[in-house]
């Protein structure tokens, strides 16, 4: 049974629903949803929706990817081939034909929004998807944007493109924003049990979008508008970004003051109120934390003319961590009378988070680049990655981890995958640099 959390403004309680926005009567055909983009966000969303009885088509611009999905082949970490096969049995199908949009009651846009050269979101995929939807939009459709972006995108960018169809929002179709909150690799939180924010361009749009998500999400949280929903997502990730920067900076001066930052965090984390645990690391990665706060900073500076100083400072600190890690590697080798030039360096864990193969924005990449520039003899191991593309060269995972541990001049733990026995690895290493604070204290173990 899903739960809708009502917004605080009284006006949201008095709503009338235009045609196509009210829940289907019992016994009526299932809602038809087209989910645009079948990647890390769109595919898990399709899985949850089709399992709840929604008639789902995954629209994917790549015909090859659509064919692979229809053949039961997954391309994301969180879904196996067996998961895709189960979706197909439940009625899911992928398509590269935009005509499927014309038959949809709900169209959800889940396309990437990377950073542009100017530091704001690159909206080309959103704009292209919106244009494609406009070409096939039919009256009574609810369009929902899930891609992370800056406040105002739904109303100021997507809506005008959709209205090129000749249809008008609020009269012919409805438009809403609902930020994705996918946590790749999480064993605890998925689409169903993560509360879903929904902000419509009108109260009727909020109601229609909420009605769709209530089909398969436990808790739906209506927001007062699209901009509020867009900004809430950016606040979530900016909060994490700033706090990660705080502990990263503390780790650096704690090292200089000969203070164990991990012991400091352990002590602070025992407080049952007023403190949330964050841990330092070699940098931040993934599709959210290094990217999303920049959207907010970009829009503040663009529209208001002044900087979002917390975001800029956090970005400066977090972006400097790979350089700090590289410098520490050189210092540790120097302590052993070994120059970094020619030293055999083994990096463990090159993905952006534990237990996934996703390497997007992983801090391991700038660390590796800096080590290569200093002419280190670079090697890597990751249980989830066999080949690692480093600009103009490709590294293969070391075939024998134990042998490589013994051969390395220094072993650097960048990502703590569950498959690593960190203490055993440290014991086999000549010098072990633990950027995740997991190894037991030993003479050869060094932490951030």
Annotated catalytic residues are 288
Beta carbons within 10 angstroms of residue 331's beta carbon: 12
Number of Cβ within 10 Å of residue 366's Cβ equals 19
Q: In angstroms, what CA-CA distances link 61 with 39, 45, 129, 211?
A: 11, 17, 9, 27
**Ramachandran region, residue 324 (left: φ > 0; alpha: ψ -120 to 50; beta: rest):** alpha
Measured CA to CA, the distance from residue 219 to residue 197 in angstroms comes to 9
Report the C-alpha gap between 85 and 88 in whole angstroms.
5
* SS3 state of residue 73: coil
| HSE-up of residue 196 (Cα within 13 Å, Cβ side) | 32
Among 161, 147, 168, 189, residue whose Cα is nearest residue 35: 147
Beta bridge partners of 57: 34, 93
Please give the C-alpha separations between residue 174 and each of 25, 105, 158, 188, 205, in angstroms, as whole numbers: 20, 10, 12, 33, 5
Going along 214-312, which residue ranges are E strands? Answer: 219-223
């Amino acid at each position: 049974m899903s739960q809708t959390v009502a917004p605080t403004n009284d006006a949201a309680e008095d709503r009338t629903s235009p045609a196509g926005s009210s829940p289907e009567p019992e016994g009526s055909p299932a809602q038809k949803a087209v989910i645009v983009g079948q990647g890390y966000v769109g595919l898990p969303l399709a899985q949850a929706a089709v399992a709840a009885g929604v008639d789902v088509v995954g629209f994917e611009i790549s015909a090859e990817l659509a064919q692979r999905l229809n053949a039961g082949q997954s391309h994301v970490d969180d879904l196996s081939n067996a998961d895709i096969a189960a979706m197909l049995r439940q009625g899911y199908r992928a398509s590269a034909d935009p005509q499927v949009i014309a038959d949809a009651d709900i169209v959800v846009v889940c396309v990437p929004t990377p950073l542009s050269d100017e530091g704001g979101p690159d909206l080309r995929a959103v704009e292209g998807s919106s244009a494609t939807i406009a070409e096939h939009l039919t009256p009574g459709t609810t369009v929902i944007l899930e891609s992370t972006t800056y406040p105002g995108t739904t109303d100021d960018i997507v809506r005008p493109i959709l209205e090129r169809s000749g249809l008008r929002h609020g009269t012919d179709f409805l438009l809403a924003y609902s930020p994705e909150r996918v946590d790749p690799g999480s064993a605890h939180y998925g689409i169903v049990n993560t509360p879903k924010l929904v902000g419509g361009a009108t109260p009727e749009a909020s109601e229609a979008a909420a009605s769709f998500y209530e089909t398969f999400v436990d808790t739906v949280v209506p927001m007062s508008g699209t901009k509020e929903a867009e900004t809430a997502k950016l606040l979530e990730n900016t909060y994490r970004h700033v706090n990660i920067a705080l502990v990263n900076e503390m780790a650096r001066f704690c090292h200089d003051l000969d203070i164990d930052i991990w012991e400091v965090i352990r002590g602070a984390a025992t407080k049952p109120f007023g403190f949330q645990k964050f841990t330092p690391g070699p940098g931040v990665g993934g599709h959210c934390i290094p990217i999303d706060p920049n959207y907010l900073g970009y829009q503040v500076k663009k529209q208001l003319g002044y900087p979002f100083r917390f975001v800029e400072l956090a970005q400066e600190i977090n972006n400097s961590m790979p350089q700090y890690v590289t410098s520490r590697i050189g210092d540790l080798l120097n302590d052993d009378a070994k120059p970094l030039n020619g030293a055999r360096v083994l990096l463990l864990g090159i993905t952006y988070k534990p237990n996934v193969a996703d390497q997007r924005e992983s801090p391991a990449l700038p660390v590796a680049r800096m080590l290569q520039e200093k002419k280190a003899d670079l090697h890597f191991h990751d249980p989830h990655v066999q080949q690692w593309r480093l600009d103009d060269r490709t590294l293969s995972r070391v075939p024998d981890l134990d042998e490589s541990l013994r051969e390395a001049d220094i072993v650097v733990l960048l990502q703590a995958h569950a498959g690593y026995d960190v203490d055993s690895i440290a014991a086999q290493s000549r010098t072990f640099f633990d950027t995740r604070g997991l190894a037991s204290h030993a003479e050869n173990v060094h932490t951030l």
